Structure 1
Amino acid sequence: MDQSPFIITGMHRSGTSLIARFMHFSGMDLGERLLGANPSNPYGHFEDLDILDFHKSILLREFNHSMWVTALPHYTSSDLEQARELFAPRPHKVFWGWKEPRTSLFLGLWEQVFPHANYLFIIRHPRLVLDSLKRRTRAKWYHFWQYNRYLANWLLYNQACYQFWQTHRENGLLIKLDAILSQPDRFVSCLQNRLAYSFEVVNFGKVYDERVLNLKRPSPILMSPFLYKRCVEFYDILCEEADL
């Protein structure tokens, strides 16, 4: 196993925190300053605050919003240099990396910093992502514009991950959250084969709390049927081609 990072990403509310927690329990160094817990993520986000702040600063500059955007952000040579400087003072790690959903929007930038990085892209059904965002933001079911924005970002994030994965299959895994939850042994096997690192399935059972990932039937939401149809159709493509 080389000393390039292992990067975990995907759309917000797609289970990336669960996977990062599993990796943390398995000995992966996710950083020294991590974003803590909140009511919607009671076990913590496991997000490196330096990387999180770096991503948010560019999104605020480009879109005046640090989370919901309309396109992939433009980044400058100064941004690229700042990304490199984030890791300059850090000690050399053997098994390390980070989890941050916004990384999906910056894959081209990070590839220039770490050309041999490995990636894990987590995909989740758009309806379940919407329901999770609805509960987290306490949005009303009739907030049409808000759910359409969530859908548009679901599409943007997942398209960015998919397009990058298509040309980086030798160092990227595209995996369905449903498959991870139902077949943790196969998920662990995929990781071991890709990373040449020993994982234990028992650790996944220790970190998975089904009460946090609401798997019940989603509540009613008013949204664009056309945009939702596009998302579902693309999700079907992702599922057909996913590594698991």
Structure 2
Amino acid sequence: MFIHSQPVAQPPVIIIGMHRSGTSMISRLLEQVGLFMGWQKDNNHEARLFGFLNHWLLQQAGAAWDHPEPIADLLNNEEVRRLVLFYMQGLMTTRHAISYTGWRMFLRYHDVHKLPFPWGWKDPRNTYTLPLWLDIFPQAKIIHVMRHGVDVAHSLRTRYEKQLARGQAHQEKATYYWLHSKRREGFVNTLRCVSLDEGVALWQSYLQEAQIHVAHLGERAIELHYEDFLQRPQEHMEALMQFVGLPIRAAAVEQAVGVVNDARAFAYRRDPNLSAFALTVQDRLSPFGYGADGFD
């Protein structure tokens, strides 16, 4: 412990897991049945306050979501870690917390530590920054969402291709750089995951890191396969609600999971090329319960 953690009225729920693994779906469904996930969120259903902090934390170590390993340098540096934690606390206990709580809630409770109801946030980068969050919220509950590595790698590559196409379209517009002279971000958000092989390698890294946390936290962590959830959504939804401390109301659960599409489970099997690729990496899939044809 690097700081004196403040008393927390209700420990948060922190959702971790590899990118493109279904964390957004789980976050949206839990929010629909009563888990507060923040006022201002981005397109990935990530609370902007915690998203900013996770991005900033990785930057301090020269890391990024697709090259997260250098975060260990920050975690192992006691002096810098202590400074970072005080900064994180400062953002969550001052006006900066408004982006998460909203004005009305902030005026009533002043900071996130005093929220008296189930609350949390989702961000795949939590997988690597979790030790810092546990310094601040030592009683937090953790949900780890897993998905087949080939589907994850394919989704990452597909997103890259879409981002690249948008960048190429901008290049064809002569007026674009008159209006947008400086780019804060690149044309694509990863170069590593252009290849399926590297996508699977990153997936392995995230799952290994997440499972270390899950093993250490015991009953305060729960692990969920995305494909299992799609096939039995009501059963798993009720288990998650019980875990995070939400009252189970059958009608609300049924309405929430009504949008779940089980056809998205093991989507790679409908593509011969992806199925062939899965055979080449099945030894990397099996430690996490997956195989070339689905579950191991």
TM-score normalised per structure 2? 0.67
Deviation at 1:211, TM superposition (A): 7.8
Give 1:32's aligned residue. Answer: 39
1:87 & 1:206 partners in 2: Cα distance?
35
**Using the alignment, how far apart are the partners of 1:131 and 1:81 within structure 2?**
39
Alignment correspondent of 1:232? 285
Residue matched to 1:182: 231
Q: 108-117 or 86-95, which moves further after superposition?
A: 86-95
Tell me the secondary structure at the aligned position of residue 121 of structure 1: strand
* Residue 86 (structure 1) aligned with residue 139 (structure 2): no
One-letter amino acid matched to 1:81: F
- Amino acid of the residue matched to residue 154 of structure 2? D
Q: Is the 8 A contact 1:26 1:203 kept in 2?
A: no
The amino acid across from 1:58 in the alignment is: L
* Aligned-residue identity in percent: 22
Deviations 1:161-193 (A, max 9, x none): 101111212111011111111111221232233
Map 1:214-229 to 2 at 5 A: 215=267, 217=269, 219=271, 220=273, 228-229=281-282
SS at match of 1:194: helix
Q: Which amino acid aligns with 2:89?
A: R
If each structure's helix is expressed as a fraction of its own residues, which one has the higher value? Answer: 2
Tell me whether 1:137 sits opposite 2:160 in the alignment.
yes
Counterpart position of 1:240: none
Q: 1:72 to 1:209 in 2, by over 3 A?
A: farther
Q: 2:209 aligns to what? A: 160
Say which one has the larger Rg. Answer: 2
Aligned length: 225
**Cα gap change, 1:196/1:27 in structure 2, threshold over 3 Å: closer, same or farther?**
closer
How far does the alpha carbon of each residue in 1:202-222 deviate from its partner, in whole angstroms, 9 at most, with x for none?
133244356877835264369
The whole-number CA distance in structure 2 between the counterparts of 1:6 and 1:82 is: 21
In structure 2, the partner of 1:10 is 17
**Structure 1 unaligned regions, length at least 5:** 37-44, 238-244
User: What RMSD over aligned residues (CA atoms) do the two structures have, in Å?
Assistant: 3.0
CA contact (8 A) 1:128 1:218 kept: no
Q: Of the two structures, which has the highest relative contact order with CA contacts closer than 8 Å and spacing of 6 or more?
A: 1
What is the TM-score with the length of structure 1 in the denominator?
A: 0.80
2:241–2:247: 8 Å Cα contact kept in structure 1?
Answer: yes
Deviations 1:77-124 (A, max 9, x none): 222222222321343321110000000011111111101111110011
